Amino acid sequence: MTRDEIDRQLSLQKEAFAIRDVEALTALHTPEGTFESPAYGLVTGRIAIREVYKYWYTAFPDLLLTWGSALIDPPRASYLWSFTGTTTGPFFGETKVGSKIAMTGATESLYGPEGIIAIRHVFDFSGTLMRTGVLKVKPA
């Protein structure tokens, strides 16, 4: 993959996130691709990856994931992202419906001719669970 090809894949990914298109996001992954995150661990294959995207968009129908310039070193790309969303239903347990969430994270992706071979997200999952009311923390 060239820098320009990866940049094009990232543009398609941004477009799919902007219109909240689970199918378009899923199609960017290779058939046996992997998706890793603190929330889901490691999942393999488009069907499992689609379920991850679907779960997040069900919990946060207004989910918006954005990022600026990516650091591209073919065949890899990395970027820092921002996430915003409002809970409307279950999210790894019972949530406070209407909780507004904002968080930042980082992603590293490996690309091949068929698309995203592997993607790994890093973010503060415990903090997200606290902000949605799923994880209760007792004051010291």
The pLDDT score that the predictor gives to residue 51 is: 95
Digit-coded pLDDT (tens) for 29-41: 999 999 999 888 9
How does pLDDT run across 42-57, given as a tens digit for each residue?
999 999 999 999 988 9
Q: What is the pLDDT of residues 104-134, one digit of tens each?
A: 899 999 999 999 999 999 987 777 667 666 6
Please give the radius of gyration of the chain, using alpha carbons only, rounded to the nearest integer: 15
Domains in the chain, ordered, with CATH?
3-131 (3.10.450.50)
Q: What is the per-residue pLDDT for 5?
A: 97
| In the predicted structure, residue 95 carries a pLDDT above the cut 80 | no
